[in-house]
């Protein structure tokens, strides 16, 4: 299988442009936190719980809107990275760690944009979403980059479009959920400090109720997708290796992640585990997902160790 070098080079250039655009978005969202008006404190109106203050009207802060606009442009360029890379090799563009991580981050950005459009207060967490996005992409480019090429033999299956695609979607959604839970925990700490925290960047975040609901709703959305990814992986394993489950490191940690997120969703409905304890479970879930991505391909050995890092 031949590779189109011009499209491969274009993909690499678009990657750098996407990082630059997201960096500009971080600056814009940071300026919003520093100079913009105070955000809406609640996702729901007064009388439904929480602080009881009425929700502020949708914001028209120019820094926030500029950040959103640049993020949309960055997401379009980011998608172009994968499209041109796939066209260059005439295959699905998630056949190694570089492509997988790039796709996961793109899903996270798109999820954030959807939430920011539907819930204006969520725009105020833009800097905290886009900063990890920039860091993740820079690390991906520095440490995971692989030149465009054909798929390794183990991935030449129609199951690549099913299993890996859903794993990318699930991971990207959990990425946003985990960040929202981290911010929720920080917001609770800020609220507990009261007047002492006034004027800090934490005081400009959306209310704890908003952050908690964003974390929960994204986890609810991502959990069945991740469940399907695990099931599809087991079916592919039976087709490729003659067994559905062999406790390979990748399989094991994918299952551990599933258990953690199942625990998080259960904790949300269990007295004594709502709020802060449940949020910590969600944060642990994101840590497990990141560990699963990096550990299996960079440290451990197993049937899934084909991340293109030779």
Q: What pLDDT is attached to residue 306?
A: 52
Query: Is 293 part of a structural domain of the chain?
Result: yes
Q: What pLDDT is attached to residue 233?
A: 87
Task: Give whole-number Cα distances, 62 to 28, 29, 68, 69, 136, in Å.
Answer: 9, 10, 10, 10, 27
Which of 167, 155, 172 lies closest to 308 in space, CA to CA?
155
Q: What pLDDT is attached to residue 107?
A: 97
Q: What pLDDT is attached to residue 35?
A: 77
Q: What pLDDT is attached to residue 73?
A: 97
Along the 310 residues of the chain, how does pLDDT read in single tens digits?
A: 678 899 999 999 999 999 999 999 999 999 988 876 654 444 444 333 444 444 444 444 788 899 999 999 999 999 999 999 999 988 889 888 899 999 999 999 999 999 999 988 888 899 999 999 999 999 999 999 989 888 776 677 777 888 889 999 999 999 999 999 999 999 988 877 765 556 566 777 888 899 999 999 999 999 999 999 999 988 887 876 777 777 788 888 899 999 999 999 998 888 778 889 999 999 999 999 999 888 777 765 555 555 544 3
Query: Is 129 part of a structural domain of the chain?
Result: yes
Buried b (16+ CB within 10 A) or exposed e, 36-64: beebbbbbeeeeeebeeeebeeebebebb
- Provide the H-helix boundaries in 126-205: 126-139, 159, 165-193
Q: What pLDDT is attached to residue 55?
A: 47
Q: Specify whether the CB–CB gap between 107 and 129 falls below 8 A.
A: no
Rounded CA-CA distance 177/279 in Å is 10
Q: Specify whether the CB–CB gap between 100 and 293 falls below 8 A.
A: yes
Q: What pLDDT is attached to residue 236?
A: 82
Q: What pLDDT is attached to residue 247?
A: 78
Q: How many CB atoms lie within 10 A of CB 247?
A: 9
Rounded CA-CA distance 125/308 in Å is 34
SS3 of residue 241 by DSSP: helix
User: Burial, 188: exposed, middle or buried (Cβ in 10 Å; 0-12, 13-18, 19+)?
Assistant: middle
Which of 145, 168, 146, 150 lies closest to 91 in space, CA to CA?
150
Q: What pLDDT is attached to residue 44?
A: 45
Tally of structural domains, the chain:
1
What the block records as the tokens of 275 is 């709020």
Rounded CA-CA distance 209/49 in Å is 9
Query: Is 96 part of a structural domain of the chain?
Result: yes
Q: What pLDDT is attached to residue 196?
A: 53
Query: Is 49 part of a structural domain of the chain?
Result: no
The parent domain of residue 254 ranges over 5-41+61-298
Rounded CA-CA distance 212/169 in Å is 21
Q: Specify whether the CB–CB gap between 37 and 204 falls below 8 A.
A: no
Rounded CA-CA distance 267/181 in Å is 14
Q: What pLDDT is attached to residue 51?
A: 44
Query: Is 162 part of a structural domain of the chain?
Result: yes
Q: What pLDDT is attached to residue 37?
A: 61
Task: Give whole-number Cα distances, 229 to 159, 221, 292, in Å.
Answer: 10, 13, 14
Query: Is 53 part of a structural domain of the chain?
Result: no
Query: Is 108 part of a structural domain of the chain?
Result: yes
Query: Is 160 part of a structural domain of the chain?
Result: yes
């Amino acid at each position: 299988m031949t590779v189109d070098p011009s499209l491969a080079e274009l993909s690499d250039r678009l990657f750098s442009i996407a990082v630059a655009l997201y960096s500009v978005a971080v600056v814009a969202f940071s300026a919003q936190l520093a100079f913009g008006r105070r955000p809406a404190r609640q996702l729901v109106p007064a009388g439904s719980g929480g602080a009881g203050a009425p929700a502020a009207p949708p914001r028209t802060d120019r820094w926030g809107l500029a950040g959103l606009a640049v993020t949309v442009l960055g997401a379009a360029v980011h998608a172009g990275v994968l499209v041109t890379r796939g066209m260059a090799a005439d295959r699905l563009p998630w056949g190694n760690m570089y492509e997988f991580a790039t796709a996961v981050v793109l899903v996270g950005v798109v999820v954030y944009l959807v939430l920011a459009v539907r819930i204006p207060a969520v725009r105020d967490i833009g800097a905290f979403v886009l900063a990890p996005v920039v860091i993740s992409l820079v690390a991906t480019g520095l440490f995971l980059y692989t030149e465009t090429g054909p798929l390794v033999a183990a991935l030449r299956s129609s199951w690549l479009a099913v299993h890996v695609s859903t794993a990318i979607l699930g991971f990207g959604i959990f990425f946003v959920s985990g960040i929202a839970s981290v911010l929720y925990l920080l917001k609770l700490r800020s609220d507990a400090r009261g007047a002492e925290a006034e004027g800090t960047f934490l005081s400009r975040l959306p209310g704890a109720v908003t952050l908690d609901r964003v974390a929960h709703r994204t986890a609810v959305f991502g959990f069945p997708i991740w469940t399907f990814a695990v099931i599809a992986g087991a079916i592919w394993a039976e087709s490729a290796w003659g067994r559905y489950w062999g406790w390979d490191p990748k399989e094991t940690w994918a299952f551990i992640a599933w258990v953690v997120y199942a625990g998080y969703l259960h904790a949300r409905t269990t007295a004594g585990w709502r709020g802060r304890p449940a949020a910590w479970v969600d944060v642990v879930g994101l840590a497990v997902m990141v560990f699963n991505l990096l550990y299996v391909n960079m440290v451990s050995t197993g049937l899934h160790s084909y991340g293109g890092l030779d």
